[in-house]
Amino acid sequence: MPDSLKEKPAKITTHVLQNMKLHGEKISMLTAYDYSLARIIDNSGIDVILVGDSASNVMAGYETTLPITLNEMIYHAASVVRAVKRALVVVDLPFGTYQGNSKEALNSAIKIMKETGAGAVKLEGGKEIRESVERILSAGIPVMGHLGLTPQSIHKFGTYVVRAKEKAEAEKLIEDAQILEETGCFSIVLEKVPALLGKKVASGLKIPVIGIGAGRYVDGQVLVIHDMLGITQEFSPRFLRRYHNLYAEIKGAVENYVSDIKRGDFPSEKEQY
């Protein structure tokens, strides 16, 4: 474990994240959807693990995040929580489980917290989901907001391009961020907006702003684990830094396995009983 992590708290809470912003320490966040990867990520010193509804894309192979269900999110989240000792685990409320109905939002959030043991939930949207956020918070459940490119609204946007380049959308985003902070969100994810807007939002709020394609001036960064490890190949936005090419590594290993079997080389004398 790197030296800088040695004095870190044994368990990351929403209060720890608030303190990190106060002291100018950047927050690291990655997605995870299963026990084995979550265990590696947690042991590597990550601060926050997001069980994102991007599971719909990278785990289930859907084109959008819309099809994934609450029970499927719960399955992924419970698997992650079983592996994690230190990071704060945040779970996405999937599409259709909170929009336009704050009572349903509360029920969805309670089901996630009860059945997974996670530490917080995340919802997409600003002013229009305020009532749902308030109701969830009233049950003592920490809420992370999500603004900018909100993939559950892809059919409204029509495209995954950078959001809030125009003044009107940028102003609405700043207002939404203030509403989420006032309502009581402990943090906000800001996706795919200009870096200077990210800077303005982060410096105007007391709560941490965690960016994905929102530039370097925000309080932390999040990436989808399959993208940063290079398991996915077709998705290559400018903001994505790939730390590995696992697609090629896994493919090479599987090709060697197939060829060893075909040649009668596996198993060897030593590998049998």
Looking up tokens 């709020």 gives 205
228, 265, 225: which is closest to 245 by C-alpha? 228
Does 31 help bind ligand KIV (rule: CB under 6 A)? yes
Catalytic annotation, pick one of 128, 181, 191, 255:
191
Q: Tell the smallest beta-carbon distance from residue 73 to ligand KIV (Å).
A: 10
x-marked contacts with ligand KIV along 175-214 as a string, rule CB under 6 A: --------------x----------------------x--
Q: Give whichever of 31 and 253 is closer to ligand KIV, judged by the CB atom.
A: 31
Q: Tell the smallest beta-carbon distance from residue 29 to ligand KIV (Å).
A: 8
Does 92 help bind ligand KIV (rule: CB under 6 A)? yes
Among residues 17, 49, 52, 97, the one that binds ligand KIV under rule CB under 6 A: 52
> Is the peptide bond prior to 67 cis by the omega test (within 30 degrees of 0)?
no
x-marked contacts with ligand KIV along 125-164 as a string, rule CB under 6 A: ----------------------------------------
Query: Between vectors from CA 42 to CA 207 and to CA 246, what angle results, nearest 5°?
Result: 110
Q: Give whichever of 181 and 191 is closer to ligand KIV, judged by the CB atom.
A: 191
Does 232 help bind ligand KIV (rule: CB under 6 A)? no
Q: Which residue number places its CB atom closest to ligand KIV?
A: 52
Is residue 58 within 8 A of residue 224, CB to CB? The reply is yes
Does 97 help bind ligand KIV (rule: CB under 6 A)? no
Query: With 0-12 CB in 10 A as exposed, 13-18 as middle and 19+ as buried, what is 230?
Result: middle
Q: Give whichever of 174 and 223 is closer to ligand KIV, judged by the CB atom.
A: 223
Whether 191 sits among the annotated catalytic residues: the reply is: yes
Q: Give whichever of 222 and 228 is closer to ligand KIV, judged by the CB atom.
A: 222
DSSP state of 27: E
27, 69, 12: which is closest to 208 by C-alpha? 27
Instruction: Give the Cα separation of 270 and 260 in Å (integer).
Output: 15
With contacts defined by CB under 6 A, name the span among 52-60, 106-114, 195-203, 255-263 that binds ligand KIV.
Answer: 52-60
Please give, one letter per residue, the 3-state secondary structure of 79-139: HHHHHCCCCEEEEECCCCCCCCCHHHHHHHHHHHHHHHCCCEEECCECHHHHHHHHHHHHC
Q: CA 118, 186, 102, 56 torsion: positive or negative? A: negative
C-alpha distances in angstroms, 163 versus 113, 125, 232?
31, 13, 23
Binding site for ligand KIV (CB under 6 A): 31, 50, 52-54, 92, 189, 212, 222, 224
**Which positions are annotated as active-site residues?**
191
